[in-house]
Amino acid sequence: MAVILELAVQGAQMALVLLLAPLLTGFVRKVKARLLRRQGPSLIQPYRDLLRLMRKEVVLADNASWLFRVTPYLIFATTWVGAALIPTFAAGLTFSWTADLIAIVALLGSARFFLALAGMDVGTSFGGIGSSREVMIASLAEPAMLLIVFSLALVAGATQLSTVAAFMGSPEVGLRVSLGMSLIALVMVAIAENARIPVDNPSTHLELTMVHEAMVLEYSGRHLAMIEFAAFLKLLLYVSLISCVFLPWGLASAGAGLESLAPGVVAYVGKLAVCGVLLAVFETAIAKMRVFRVPDFLGAALMLALLGTLLLFVSRSL
């Protein structure tokens, strides 16, 4: 009985991230529009977009291969698995030990690998430009992310997210310089990974300035729906990650009863909202930078993360 219940909670988490992901993106868009004194699309517009895309026919380039058609499902699946493995409303779920934070980062790397390949499949210059820039951004963002993971792991003594979250919620954390650096670096990485301003513009229509959108230029219909959905999930994944590690309050602890799950869900939705507003404010306040300024931006994240890790090697209490 207990096993079924645990599996049900795990299933609920998988369903929850799936349900909330488009809403989060819709929310960020709405807040951004309101900040610009526009009305903005409704909150459920992303769901409508997904449904509309699914109903449309796919226009496939003449020389697209099987890889091009399989990739959307692979990207969606890996991102979904990654998002579902991060503690959202409760820590220590049944399968939370399947992959630790390093593995989750690598899962996102798998998704990106296939997306970059799909960008090159048709053989247009736009796909190539997107893929080559994406791997350049990733080659800086991924090491920064892993160094952040190192810092967290050194502080909490684990790379297992449930353990990290539990530790961060306990009073022994205190204020640490290294964690502050990690937080800033993590936010920078999250912005780059999710193709947000100032690294990339999710709503641009000028192909030469795009990174993510240039890679998926050839996608349409249900394939595009899957890719869009994966992008929504990725944003949710990073917000969940930041809130689970740095705002661990309200997270139902491992083995807690069903009654503590409801406040966990409420707290989770609240955290999403706060992070969404912050993201929207940040994006409105800043301009997109040139592609070759991005290495500086990510280099700063890398250095911050490295500094945080080095501090922890010097003294465990910093």
Partner 1 sequence: MISGAAVLLWGVAALLGTAVLAIAESRRSDSGTRLIYGLTLGISAAVLMVLASRIADNPVTPSTVVLPLGLPWIGAHFRLDALSTFFLIVVNFGGSMASLYGLGYGRHESAPHRVLPFFPAFLAGMNLVVVADDAFTFLLSWEFMSLASWALVMAHHREQDNARAGYIYLVMASFGTLALLLAFGLLAGSDGTYTFDAMRAADPTPFAAAFVLVLMLLGAGSKAGLVPLHVWLPLAHPAAPSHVSALMSGVMTKVAVYGFIRVIFDLLGEPAWWSGVAVLFLGGLTAVLGILYALMEKDLKRLLAYSTIENIGVIFVSLGLALAFKANAMPSAAALALTAALFHVLNHSFFKSLLFFGAGAVLTATGERDMEKLGGLIHRMPFTSFAFLVGCVAISALPPFNGFVSEWLAFQAILQSPDLPQWGLKVMVPAVGGLLALSAALAAACFVKAFGITFLGRPRSAAVELAHEVDRYSLAAMFILAALCLLAGILPGLVIDGLSSVTLPLIGSRMPVQMAQPWLSIVPIAASRSSYNGLLVFLFIAFSASAAAYVIHRFASHALRRGPAWGCGFLDVVPSSQYTAVSFAQPIRRVFGTFVFRARETVEMPAPGETGPARLNVEMHDVIWETLYLPIGRALDFATDHLNHLQFLTIRRYLTLVFLFLIVLLLVLALWP
Q: Which residues within the stretch 252-271 sit at the binding site for partner 1 (CB under 8 A)? A: none
From CA 112, how far away is CA 189, in angstroms rounded? 14
The residue from 5, 59, 173, 274 that contacts partner 1 (CB under 8 A) is 59
Q: How far is the CB of 266 from partner 1 (least distance, A)?
A: 27
| Interface segment toward partner 1; rule CB under 8 A; list 58-66, 174-182, 263-271, 281-289 | 58-66
Q: Which residues within the stretch 154-193 sit at the binding site for partner 1 (CB under 8 A)? A: 154, 157-160, 163
The residue from 33, 61, 261, 278 that contacts partner 1 (CB under 8 A) is 61
Q: How far is the CB of 284 from partner 1 (least distance, A)?
A: 28
Q: How far is the CB of 29 from partner 1 (least distance, A)?
A: 24
CA 129 to chain centre: 23
Asked if 138 interacts with partner 1 (CB under 8 A), we say yes
Q: How far is the CB of 53 from partner 1 (least distance, A)?
A: 9
**Contact in structure between 304 and 177 (CB atoms under 8 Å):** no
Q: Which is nearer to partner 1, 66 or 203 (CB)?
A: 66
Per-residue x/- mask for partner 1, residues 195 to 214, rule CB under 8 A? ------------x-------
Angle between helices 66-85 and 221-246 (to 10 degrees): 20
Asked if 218 interacts with partner 1 (CB under 8 A), we say yes
How far is the CA of 164 from the CAs of 159, 181, 245, in angstroms?
Answer: 7, 17, 7
From CA 242, how far away is CA 161, in angstroms rounded? 11
Q: Which is nearer to partner 1, 74 or 235 (CB)?
A: 74
The residue from 125, 249, 274, 317 that contacts partner 1 (CB under 8 A) is 125
The pair of structure tokens assigned to 48 is: 């409508």
| Interface segment toward partner 1; rule CB under 8 A; list 135-143, 196-204, 240-248, 269-277 | 135-143
Q: In degrees rounded to 5, what are phi and psi of residue 196?
A: -100, 165
Q: Which residues within the stretch 63-102 sit at the binding site for partner 1 (CB under 8 A)? A: 63, 65-67, 73-74, 76-78, 80-81, 95, 97-100, 102
Instruction: Report the amino acid identity of residue 28.
Output: V
Q: Which is nearer to partner 1, 70 or 266 (CB)?
A: 70
Question: Would you list the DSSP string of 62-122?
Answer: TT--HHHHHHHHHHHHHHHHHHHHS-SSBSS-TTTTSS-HHHHHHHHHHHHHHHHHHHHHS
How far is the CA of 64 from the CAs of 128, 162, 268, 296, in angstroms?
Answer: 14, 42, 41, 35
Q: How far is the CB of 26 from partner 1 (least distance, A)?
A: 20
Q: Which residues within the stretch 15-54 sit at the binding site for partner 1 (CB under 8 A)? A: 54
Longest dimension (CA), the chain: 60
Asked if 300 interacts with partner 1 (CB under 8 A), we say no
Q: Which is nearer to partner 1, 31 or 233 (CB)?
A: 233
From CA 290, how far away is CA 282, in angstroms rounded? 18
